[in-house]
Structures are given as structure tokens and as C-alpha cells.
Structure 1
Amino acid sequence: MTHNSMTPTLPDYAVSPGDFIQEWLDENGINAAELARRLDVTPKHVSELLSGKAPLSATLSIALERVTGTPARLWNRTEAIYREDLARLAECEKLEAQYDQAKLFPLPYLRRFGFLMSSNKDKAGTVRELLELFRIGDLGAFEATWVHAKVAYRKTKLSTDKTHEQATWLALGEREAAIDDLPDFDRDALERLIPALRALTVEPNPIESLRKIKELLHEVGVAFVLIPPIPGFGVYGATRWIAEHPVVQLSVRGKSDDQLWFTLFHELGHVLLHGHKTVFVQGTEGKEEDEADNFASRTLIPQEFVHRIPTSRNLAAVQELAHELGIAPSIVLGQAQRITKDYKWGHSLKVKLEWGSASEKAA
């Protein structure tokens, strides 16, 4: 993710060619009526030219060159800059008028993680960056594009009052996915890759494992992105298809490696088991979510080992089974906790992950 913080500050005013013409008139002691006679145009036209109301034509620029000695190309350049500045200023007013709509989005979150570079005082800049994020020309197009989308990969099943947070999180993942750099998706290669991905869970540094996983998934045509969770929007992961490529997006919301690994394989379950036409956001209910949960559970701990998952606070049994399976002990612990509903033990086996440190850089 790259952001350009070196964009030059543009003036909040526009200078017309008429301002420069008036300077020349003052310096040479010539009035507007005399200029009109020399240019062979009406006094009204000169008046509108001086006030910036009338555009300076290329033909008149040539005449001005003869009268003032300033090259026509400079007059034409001044006119072009003036019209561009007028358009920019009008655009700023239009963007500022949309700032109340912009406040519906999680702006503090976007600024915290560097997704928005404009300060809260720069209303036009904030709106402009939001439009770029959502790839829309006006915030009035947000609902049609992201809420009532005709595009398959934006149609979610999640029923929530956090529409703006959900769309923001998904839009960030879409931007970071870099689909253009991916090879064609190879489903068979992904299936063959699952054991290698599973083995990476045992590495002592989950952040390094995530980097390797991203590289391996890239090779089989899967985009893998980490986007930090938005406060108040409880999502662990999502899967969707963009331009014939699966995009697996995680939030590391659980802040521990067991939830991370389960979510990863849950989302890969969607890729292998389900169609291209739906966005799957973990946390919803339905047959597909149950199937993805089961895929994750049985991929990490095959059915023939389920009976050995401890049903009591037995750390040694957790570690022994994890070692035999070649997976992180936290994964066995997590499944034991889900079975017993006892979450108050075994925390020493979990690796904590925090956004704003190494985990943020893994994507």
C-alpha cells in the first residue's frame, strides 16, 4: 500500500488572463476602450475579458501578442490554467458539500491506518479520497454501487446496520488485492497447496507465515489481503471473486493465531466449495457458512483425530495432538474451547497479534 503525501498545495483562487491584461494596460497608460480599438473587438468584449467572464480565444491571443508583445502561447497557457483553476474550485465546493455524507464512513479508522491522508479539516480532500477508494464519482452513487450493487462480488449476504463500515472494509480489500498481477486461478493447485498452508501454522512467527502464505496463494491465482478490523464492525474474514480470481480477506480481529488460522481455512473452504456469485462474510448464517466451518475444522484436525481433542483443561494433551498433526497448539486449543465452551484456560499456547506492529506489515 502506497500513498503520496507530497502532493503540492494548490491555490484557493484563480487568476484570469484579464488580470494580466489589466496590469499591462496600467503599466502602459492605455484604457480598455483603446485596447478594444487596437484588437478590433467591442468594448463589451474587452470588459468581459478583463473581468474573466469571456474566454480568451486562440485567435485573440495572437492579436494580443501583436499589441502587448507577450507571445500568444503564454496568453493561451494563462487561459488554460485559469479555466482549470475555476473547474478545480467549483469541484472543491461540490466535494465540501458532500462532507456530511462522508462522516457516515469510519474516517478516524481510515486516517489511523493511513488509508486517508487528508486531515479532518480538509473536507474536500477527505471526500475526494473516499471517492477514489470506492471508485465512484460522487457519494450519491455509493448506494447504487455498493449497497444495491449489480456487480456480483459486491453482493453480500450480511444484514447489518454497519453498511458504511462493511463497504469500507471490502473496498480496502478490493484496492489492495492487486488482481492484475495474479496468474490465472488454478483450483487443483490450490487443493494441492492446502497441506503446505496447514504446515505453516506451526511456525513460531505467524507474521512470517502470513507472508509465505500470501506468496503461495499468489502462485495459484488467489489474492490474499489483510485489512485491519473496523471498530464496531465484527468481521473476521471475507471471500469473493473479482475478475475470475478469488480474494481472501482477513481482519485478524480475534488478535490470536488460533482464530487467524481457522478464519483462513474457513475462507479457503468458500473458494473450493462455493460459487463465484456471492460475497461470503464470516459471521453470517447459512448452509455455506456451516460448510466452510466444517472444511476449516476437518482440514486442521481430520475427523479421525476429533475424538482426541481434550474435553478438560489438559495442556499436555493439546500439545501432544498438535505435535502429531503438525499444526499450531493454539488450533487444537481453540477447537477444544469451542467444544467445551470453556475459554478461560490455555492462553499461554496462543500467539497474540496486534495491528500497528508487525501484523500490520504482513499484507
Structure 2
Amino acid sequence: MLHTNTNNIWAPDYSVHPGEVLEEHLEVRGLNQAAFARLCGITPKHVSEIINGKNPITSDTALIFEKVLGVSASIWSGIAADWQLFQAKEKEKRTAQHCAEWVKIFPSDFLKKLKSVVGTDAVALRNAILSFFGVGSEAAYKSRWARRCAAYRHSPTFTSQDAALSVWLRLGEIEAEKLELPPFSRAKLKAAILEIRPLTLLPQADYMPRIKSILRECGVAFIITPCIKGAPVSGATHKATNGRYIIQASLRHKTNDHFWFTLFHEIGHLMLHGDKIFIEGNSASPSDANQQYEHQADEFSTKILLNAKPLDVFPQTRENILAFSRRLGIHPGIVVGMLQHRRSLAWNKFSDLKLKMAEDSL
């Protein structure tokens, strides 16, 4: 679900300068600026500068005008605040002329949903995107999101794929920020692995809420966010703006072998690598350092799933795979997937043992 800070309030695209309002009040009362200045106890120059927009109406001045003109100080302050906000918005429009091109880097489906809320104006879309990401400018977006998307790649170039990836990550972050979590505990997470592993034998509808509950107790938000166009990602480990850890999965491959391997892979990152961000399944090449981290997380996941035993299903018959899985206490589809990944088993052989994942049951 998209999240913006857009409220259903009336917001006119114009504002009246407070000096104009003051000038009208003086005309109605037949007061010139000098006479009004004497009544207020301020200089005629000060009054002239307010009327001509060279000096603002301060809170002190608003209180004086209330006594002299009988118009509430809050009204004068409101008129002045409305004018200042209008001027700021106009300045933002002038400095955001480039925003039409910036907006285009984001996924079309994402933009379509925003347009249904704010319309098609490029500046409005730009502001809605910034609101969605919780930042105040394109530079702030780039600092927080573009860098993290490219942090583990050889190429520093930010692409439309990175923009899509940042949307996917932000969707997970928004959901995670809704949760009340205890502080992250590595010790609890280590113990939780033994509790999570046997869940591979349960149906998805049973194990998914259990995983979320167990990880929540460890201070980790487990979020399922379906893939979005342009971001072929299977999982990620990252931190929300409130500092909470997130394991985010997409169910991209929609089979239980991929899901369980990815889950323990991401848990491995938290156990081994701390608060670095890891994104799995994107097409860009990871950096050399990240390749090492990925290899370590793969080994961690393999060790957990195989219970530190070698993958030695020979000969590779259905009966042997089922028996081996029973000895390990994991679902046979996971063993099939690992054998296929190692190319010890043809991709189409025994694939019926792997279970399909359903997004609508989450």
C-alpha cells in the first residue's frame, strides 16, 4: 500500500499579501499610513514597509493591530503565515522545474497510484514521491535511498531499476514502522533459528504468522512485499528509519525451497554482518566485498537447513530424497531445490515435491 502525507484539505493556489489586507482596512476607516502609525505607536516607515511587503507582520505587530483595528491577532498572524507558506510553495515550484524528468525514473505502476491521489502535475507528483519516502528533497532522497540501492554494486550509476528497488524497500520500511518491536537481540535470534527450522514442514498458512511472531520477539520485522515492476528482488535485510531491523521477502520465485533458503540467508546476514544492507536477486553485479558477504550468508543458510550435514542423496531417487528429508526434519522440496541449484539434479526432476507459495494467504 502506498503511503503519503497528503491530507484531504482545501489548499488554494493563491494567497493575499497581508499588506494588501492592511491597506484595505485603512481605506475603509479613512486612515492614512501616518495616522495609523501614530495610533499604533510605530513609525510610518514600518507601516509602509508592511504594506509594500518589505517587512512581515510579527506576533507583536499583530497584537498591536488587534487593539487598533479590532481584528484578532490570530487572523493577522494567519494571513501572514498563509502568505509565507504560499511564497515558499511558489519558490519550490520555480526550483523544481527539473522534477518532471526525475519523476520518470520511478515505476509506472507506482506513479499511477500516486496520480490517482494527487493528479498528474509534475511538481505535485514530485512532492508526493518525497512524502512517500519521508524526505524533503531529491538530494535527501539520493543520500538515503540511491546510495543504499547501489551500495553493493560495482557501478555507481543510479538507474530506474534502483528507483524501483527503493520503492520496494520503502514499502517494507513503512510496514515495519507500524510494528512495536523490542530492541534487536542477536542472542534471541540465534535461539529462534532452532524454533523456525521445523516450521518448514508446516503449510504456509501456519508457518508464516509463526515466523513473523518469532522474529518480532527478536526485534526483527519480517515483511512480505510482492515484487514490483523493475525490481526483480527476492529478499533484503535493512533497517527502518526508527532503527529497527527488517527482513523483507518478495516470494518472487513462489516456491518453498527459494523462500526458506532466502529466509535463513537473510537471518545469516543479521547474525554475521550486523546493520549493513543486503539486497538479493537484483541483476546488477555486487561489489567484491558484498560477494564475500553473500557467500557467507549462503553457507549459513545451507548449514542451518542441512543441520550441518553434507548433501549426499545418492542415488538421487524420490525415495532417497524423501528419506533424507525426514532424517533432516525439513520439507523435501527444500532438498530438491538445493540439489537443482547445485546442478546435481535436473531442474524439472522431482519439482513436484516443491510447494507453491501463495501471496493471497499472507
Q: Fold conserved (TM > 0.5)?
A: yes
8 A contact 1:48–1:54 mirrored in 2? yes
Q: Is the 8 A contact 1:182 1:218 kept in 2?
A: yes
Q: How does 1:49-198 map to 2 (within 5 A)?
A: 49-50=50-51, 54-58=55-59, 61=62, 64-65=65-66, 68-95=69-96, 97-106=98-107, 108-109=109-110, 118-119=117-118, 121-148=120-147, 156-159=151-154, 161=159, 162-178=161-177, 181-198=180-197
Are residues 303 and 54 of structure 1, via their aligned partners in 2, closer, same or farther at CA, if it must alter by over 3 Å?
closer
> CA distance change for structure 1 residues 250 and 117 in 2, over 3 Å: closer, same or farther?
farther
CA deviations 1:272-321 (Å, max 9, x no partner) are 2x233633333447333223223222322335462237735x3x554454
Contact 1:118/1:126, CA 8 A, preserved across alignment: no
Distance 2:136 2:180 in 1: 26
Tell me which of 198, 201, 214 is aligned to 2:212: 214
Q: CA RMSD in A?
A: 3.8
Match of 1:294 in 2: 299
| Partner residue in 1 for 2:339 | 336
Alignment partner for residue 39 of structure 1, among 19, 31, 36? Answer: 36
Equivalent residue number for residue 11 of structure 2 = 10
CA distance in 1, matches of 2:293, 2:64: 73
- Name the structure 2 match of 1:269: 268
CA contact (8 A) 2:185 2:218 kept: yes
Distance in 2 between residues matched to 1:239 and 1:69, nearest whole Å: 61
Counterpart AA for 1:238: A
Asked whether 1:280 is paired with 2:278, we answer yes
Does structure 2 conserve the Cα–Cα contact (< 8 Å) formed by 1:318 and 1:333?
yes
Aligned partner of 1:237 in structure 2 is 235
Distance change in 2, residues 1:87/1:331 (3 Å): same
SS at match of 1:8: coil
Find the aligned partners of 1:88 and 1:173 in 2 and give their Cα distance: 30
Query: What is the one-letter code of the residue matched to 2:307?
Result: P
Using the TM superposition, give the Cα deviation of residue 36 of structure 1 relative to its aligned residue in structure 2, in angstroms: 1.6
In the alignment, the residues of structure 2 paired with residue 68 and residue 189 of structure 1 have an alpha-carbon distance, to the nearest angstrom, of 68
Which amino acid is 1:267 matched to? E
What TM-score do you get using the length of structure 2 for normalisation? 0.76
Tell me the amino acid that sits aligned with residue 361 of structure 2. A
Q: CA deviation at 1:236?
A: 1.4
**Count of aligned pairs between the two proteins:** 344
DSSP 3-state at the match of 1:177:
helix
Q: Which stretch shows the higher mean deviation, 51-60 or 255-264? A: 51-60
Paired with 1:278 and 1:73, the residues of 2 have a C-alpha distance of 49
Deviation of 1:14 (Å):
0.8
By how many angstroms is 1:265 displaced?
1.0
Instruction: Tell me how far apart the structure 2 counterparts of residues 125 and 354 of structure 1 sit (CA, whole Å).
Output: 36
User: Mind listing any 5+ residue stretches in structure 1 that lack a counterpart?
Assistant: none
Partner of 2:253: 254
1:352 equivalent in structure 2? 356
SS of 2:195 mapped into structure 1: helix
Q: Per-residue deviation at 1:121?
A: 0.7
Map Cα deviations across residues 98-136 of structure 1 (whole Å, 9 max, x no partner). 232232233523655x8x974451433432243344444
CA gap 1:36/1:122 in 2 versus in 1, 3 angstroms: same
| Counterpart contact for 1:311–1:336, Cα < 8 Å | no
How much has 1:11 moved relative to structure 2? 1.1
**CA separation of 1:110 and 1:50: change in aligned 2, threshold 3 A:** same
Q: Which amino acid aligns with 1:352?
A: K
* Structure 1 residues 319-343: Cα deviation after superposition (integer angstroms, max 9, x where no partner): 4544454333321221232233522
How far is 1:47 from its partner?
6.7
Distance 2:245 2:77 in 1: 50
Kindly indicate whether the alpha-carbon contact (under 8 Å) linking 2:303 and 2:309 is maintained by their aligned counterparts in 1: no
Aligned to 2:330: 327
**What whole-Å deviation, never above 9, does each CA across 1:228-274 have from its counterpart, x for those lacking one?**
323233321222467886432222211222211110011112222x2
CA contact (8 A) 2:254 2:356 kept: yes
Match of 2:221 in 1: 223
- CA 1:189–1:255: 2 relative to 1, 3 Å: same
Contact 1:310 1:318 (C-alpha < 8 Å) held by counterparts:
no
- Structure 1 window deviating more from structure 2 (236-245 vs 129-138): it is 236-245
- Given the superposition, is the C-alpha separation of residues 103 and 9 from structure 1 closer, same or farther in structure 2, using an over 3 Å criterion? farther
- Is the Cα contact below 8 Å between 2:273 and 2:293 reproduced in 1? no
* Residue 307 of structure 1: aligned partner: 312
Q: Which amino acid aligns with 2:302?
A: S
Task: Give the Å deviation of 1:147.
Answer: 4.6
CA contact (8 A) 1:241 1:276 kept: no
Shift of residue 358 of structure 1?
A: 3.5
